[in-house]
Amino acid sequence: MSTIGYLGLGIMGSPMAVNLQRAGHTVRGWNRSPGKADALFAAGGTEAGSIAEAVAGAQVVCVNVSDTPDVVQVLTGEEGAFAHCAPGTVVVDFSTIRPDVTRDLAAQAAERGLSLLDAPVSGGEQGAVDGVLSVMVGGDQEAFDDSAEVFAAVGRTVLRVGPSGAGQTVKAANQLVVAGYVEVLAEAVVLLESQGVDLEVALDVLAGGMAGSRVLEQKRSLMTGREFRPGFRVDLHHKDMGIVLDTARDAGVVMPVAALTAQLLASARANGDGDLDHSALLRGVLRLSGRDLGTA
């Protein structure tokens, strides 16, 4: 079992840190804003007052923060993890960031005798709580193999998909597919409601056929009940679609549906829905259709 410094105790980071502690690792959590370690405390972990304290003596350092600049600051800032990790430490970045930045960070880590794995996750808050996330990992094979017990505590499907940056590229593809599913499901819900059919029965039928998906399974109740408690916020999906489009542009790839979906997420943010779950794309379809946002 490892001593783990866990940097970022948000919606995803907190339950993942808890599962690592419950698996027998010794977890020291750190968060930019204090007061987020209650669940980790309850599981037997501890809270560090600084990044340096969190990573001191750790064999593995996990990072789970919101955006590319946050990861860069947490790792390479004057008081960042790279400055305080011992040589040989494996840094596992569970955040979702730009693949090109990940590759640069991996090179910086290697110069310090560290190994950086980009390991973004999919499965949402409930997947993090249940420890059944899908983890797409880029980086060194040996570092990946050495971190097997860490990944086993947080994920059910854990695969190394290539060298540094590959994990982030696969996550970008994942976010594109999920955004498309959420938007199309929202449009289907509005269409069904407009015709006065029994919505729950209709969705049961869809779920049993080719239209069935994990998105339908997890997001239908949020849409039908107009309850958009964030499991994955619009703001974060908007950020991720920016990564998709930037990566596509750099590769010279044309992605018209991705561009449209990104604009619909931007519209949701502009209309004040940024802190809601991304299933709130339903509200955008209702706005465009001239319908009441609150009527289920």
Q: Which active-site residues does the annotation give? A: 171
Distance CA 74, CA 77 (A): 6
Q: Which residue carries 């449209």 as its tokens?
A: 260
Distance, in Å, from the CA atom of 164 to the CA atom of 99, rounded to the nearest integer, reads: 8
Number of H helices, E strands in the chain: 14, 9
Closest of 5, 174, 175, 169 to residue 103, by C-alpha: 169
CA 291, 274, 186, 228 torsion-angle sign: negative
Residues 6+ apart with CB under 8 A from 46: 27, 28, 29, 37, 40
Cite the DSSP H helix spans in 134-288. 141-146, 148-154, 166-194, 199-207, 214-225, 234-251, 256-270, 281-288
Element housing 53 (H / E): helix 51-55
Angstrom distances, CA of residue 248 to CA of 11, 104, 115, 216, 263: 28, 18, 27, 27, 16
Taking the C-alpha atoms of residue 72 and residue 65, their distance in angstroms, rounded to an integer, is 10
